Amino acid sequence: MAPSLLGGFTKSLAMTVLSEIGDKTFFAAAILAMRHPRKLVLAGCLTALIVMTALSVSLGWVAPNLISRKWTHHVTTLLFFVFGIWSLWEGFKEDGESEELAEVEAELDASFKSSKGESKNKSKVTDDTKKQQRPFIMQFFSPIFIKAFSITFFGEWGDKSQIATIGLAADENPFGVVLGGILAQALCTTAAVMGGKSLATQISEKMVELSSGVLFLLFGIMSLLSGPEGQL
């Protein structure tokens, strides 16, 4: 029985939302949006996440063609249980303070001061004039766009959510997984950019980790009961 589009969509949507809220890239988007034009930060972060989601789903889609679906199903089930236990462990270790936010803010502060020092001799009037003269499309290839893209892309590479997306795409309908993942990324990134640091500080990393841990374990149990053929 072929995996359903709706099943892949809903699992990917739920998993990505809980994985991305309170993640390092979520906080990075919120902080960048406070210092740079929101539309450029949103475009850079969202483009990186869409590319990463598409790459992850592609890897997951190719996997069953290289090894049997039975083994990809077993590996995916194992990953769900491992990430579930890992997330619960991280959640129970959290003391309530947003260490992730503080760490990201410190890194971006250092980068911001460095770039500010290099460009302090430039005239603000000249910069504004250049920005007005620059075509709208070309603004999305500005240093701000590239910075937002690179921080998000490399921040997500090898992350728990990326590996889980690969496993989910190997076991579920890849079109459903990519649609759910992109929608979730769009919702989370837009919330981070629009809400800024005020929203980021209200997020409980402990509750996010515990919730994602429970969700991963639930997916693991469902995968274990359904078997490689996808039937409960």
Q: pLDDT tens across 136-157, in order? A: 555 556 788 888 898 888 888 8
Q: Are 20 and 185 in contact (CB under 8 A)?
A: yes
* pLDDT one-digit tens code per residue, 96-122: 555 665 666 666 666 655 555 444 444
Return the pLDDT at 124. Answer: 43
The token duo for 48 is 């990186």
Neighbours of 216 (CB within 10 A): 25
* Separation of alpha carbons 8 and 171, rounded Å: 9
Give pLDDT < 70 ranges for the chain.
1-3, 95-141, 197-203, 227-232
End-to-end CA distance of the chain: 11
